[in-house]
Amino acid sequence: MRCLCFLPVIALTGGALLSSTPADFAPAARSWALIETARDTDHRLAPLAPPTLAGAASATLAITCDPAQPCQEMVGFGGALTESAAWALAQLPAAKRAEVLHRYYDPKEGIGYTLARTHINSCDFSLTTWSLDDTAGDTALRDFSLAPMRQWVLPLIHEARTAAGGDRLRILASPWSPPAWMKTNGKMADGGQLRADCREAWANFFVRFIETMKREESLPIWAVTVQNEPQAKQVWESCLYNPEEERAFVRDHLGPTLERAGLKDVKLLILDHNRDILEAHAKATLGDPAAARFVWGAAIHWYVSEDFAASSRVHAAFPDKALLFTEGCWEGGLKMGQWDRGERYARNMIGDFRNWVCGWIDWNIVLDTTGGPNHVNNLCDAPVIADAKTGEVRYQSSYYYIGHFSRYVLPGARRIVSNGGPAELQSVAFVNPDGALVAVVMNPTDAAVDFRLATGGEMLACRIPAHAIHTYIGARR
């Protein structure tokens, strides 16, 4: 995760090593493409005529992208495969269900998702409350079973993995709560804490989940988080850890247990909660070498805070640790067709990526027309809505806005330094592994905006409509 921006002799540009001699920075010409989604037209990830070359422009008009200054490597984009999403999809005709998965996961005809988050035990977006071992006192986990996942969750994970191309889909798993018998309050809901005498059993539960998913389902787990939203006492599945408690569990139990089981390659992330408490959890765990050696990075959500710079502050303190966005949604139920849904996604993605976040996972990939199902009525919106009565599917603005990143910014891409441009616009730029430059520009205002896109020697004349998002792809000739 260290930025290469300040290497004095050699800079990475489009995958090729170049000397830092100024004459050598003359770029190869690029072949440009433009993709647009706009509120006031029918353009939805629509290819348009590419922008034309332009003369010089004032600095205030130019978004300058510098491929010679690469920063974090991107791991991918995705959404959550919850029991509720699986149920909502299962109510559709088979062809419609296949269409949704194709449009999410196919790398060429869909939006190219390569990450998926699922839940260990139930979460609020489950049909009921359940765990994978409900036998009280079973610290040896003799009754551990994936049976509660077999009707809805596991078939969806397999379908998504097939649509994405097998191992191309990386699975992250998060617990909302240990089984009730491991909790101080004796139930999975309403917060409570992990009992001291169950800490080792809960660490072993992670191992059992990872190993059983691989052995019985041929599903490799790429990463796990310690706890979903560890400082939120909810009426649904939840479990509380303060920063010091999370550090102790990682350092003394979960980290060593995963290591002893030969699972060091499974990435472990702390926090999995809002940006406003990122620094406290990072300081506690990443600041402790005995705990930090087990941890790949920290996971963040967007609720409460849009202090994107918190990620930069943590990156500055712990530059070898990853920062991954793992959940965001519009709460409060379904608001079909509202355009600000997509703009909130893009604003957060741009803000996160400009501050060292290396990947982005949405919440439920699909919900029904109520914004559920949710067993505690904690309804929310989703990029895709499935109508069980009509068998139809609605793709919302958020689906298309996410696609402006996920389809074109490939795993292994690097975010590059980009600056400037009209104050009305928000933007971020990347270079893909094949050397293609990708710039995403959003206009959330009520008027079209003219600007220039400067890409290391080429200057493009661009105009973006009101309430629109553009992706510019410059392939190396």
**Tell me, what CATH number does 27's domain have?**
2.60.40.1180
- 164 part of a folded domain: yes
- 1 part of a folded domain: no
Distance of alpha carbon 294 from alpha carbon 290, whole angstroms = 8
Is the pLDDT score of 8 beyond 50? no
Q: Say yes or no: 139 and 258 in one domain.
A: yes
> What's the maximum distance between 2 C-alpha atoms anywhere in the chain?
73
> Quick check: is 159 catalytic?
no
Q: Say yes or no: 425 and 380 in one domain.
A: no
Mean pLDDT of the chain: 93
Please identify, among 388, 406, 424, the residue that sits at the C-terminal boundary of a domain: 406
- 61 part of a folded domain: yes
Q: What percent of the chain has pLDDT over 70?
A: 93
Taking each helix axis from N to C end, the angle separating 340-353 and 397-406, rounded to the nearest 10 degrees, works out to: 30
Please identify, among 362, 379, 406, the residue that sits at the C-terminal boundary of a domain: 406
Q: Which two tokens stand for residue 442?
A: 């959003």
| Residue range 321-354, pLDDT digits in tens | 999 999 999 999 888 889 999 999 999 999 999 9
Of 83, 159, 246, 327, which residue is the catalytic one?
Answer: 327
- 193 part of a folded domain: yes
Q: Give pLDDT, residue 27.
A: 45
Q: Say yes or no: 101 and 162 in one domain.
A: yes
Residue at token pair 């397999």: 158
| Residue range 157-216, pLDDT digits in tens | 999 999 999 999 999 999 999 999 999 999 999 999 999 999 999 999 999 999 999 999
Q: What is the torsional sign of CA 85, 86, 90, 92?
A: positive
| Residue range 220-242, pLDDT digits in tens | 999 999 999 999 999 999 999 99
Q: Say yes or no: 262 and 311 in one domain.
A: yes
Distance of alpha carbon 375 from alpha carbon 253, whole angstroms = 32
285, 313 Cβ separation under 8 angstroms? no
What DSSP string describes 295-350? --EEEEE-SS---THHHHHHHHH-TTSEEEEEE---BSS--TT-THHHHHHHHHHH
- 3 part of a folded domain: no
Q: For residue 373, which amino acid is it?
A: P
Q: With the CA atoms of 10, 11, 14 and 16 taken in that order, what torsion angle do they form, in degrees rounded to the nearest 10?
A: 0
Distance of alpha carbon 224 from alpha carbon 254, whole angstroms = 11
Query: Torsion-angle region of residue 44: left (phi > 0), alpha (psi -120 to 50) or beta?
Result: beta
Q: Which domain holds residue 290?
A: 76-406
Q: Say yes or no: 53 and 196 in one domain.
A: no
Is the pLDDT score of 1 beyond 70? no
Distance of alpha carbon 124 from alpha carbon 129, whole angstroms = 8
- 2 part of a folded domain: no
- 297 part of a folded domain: yes
> Quick check: is 424 catalytic?
no
Q: Say yes or no: 242 and 381 in one domain.
A: yes
| Residue range 103-150, pLDDT digits in tens | 999 999 999 999 999 999 999 999 999 999 999 999 999 999 999 999
Q: Say yes or no: 395 and 448 in one domain.
A: no
Distance of alpha carbon 48 from alpha carbon 68, whole angstroms = 28
Of 36, 229, 237, 343, which residue is the catalytic one?
Answer: 229
Q: Say yes or no: 396 and 425 in one domain.
A: no
| Span 384-408, average pLDDT | 97
Is the pLDDT score of 356 beyond 60? yes
Q: Say yes or no: 45 and 193 in one domain.
A: no
Domain count, the chain: 2
Q: Which two tokens stand for residue 237?
A: 């599945």
Q: Give pLDDT, residue 54.
A: 86
Task: Encode burial over 184-205: b for 16+ CB neighbours within 10 A, e otherwise.
Answer: eeeebbbbbbbbeebbebbbbb
Among candidate residues 298, 274, 272, the one with its CA nearest the CA of residue 285: 298
Q: Say yes or no: 371 and 352 in one domain.
A: yes
| Residue range 288-323, pLDDT digits in tens | 999 999 999 999 999 999 999 999 999 999 999 999
Please identify, among 372, 406, 440, the residue that sits at the C-terminal boundary of a domain: 406
Q: Say yes or no: 61 and 202 in one domain.
A: no
- 5 part of a folded domain: no
Q: Say yes or no: 418 and 399 in one domain.
A: no
**Tell me, what CATH number does 201's domain have?**
3.20.20.80
* pTM attached to this predicted model: 0.93
Query: Which ranges of 191-297 would DSSP assign to H, the alpha helix?
Result: 199-217, 243-249, 255-260, 278-281, 289-292
Q: Give pLDDT, residue 12.
A: 24
Q: Which two tokens stand for residue 393?
A: 């599917």
Give the number of other CB atoms < 10 A from CB of residue 447: 9
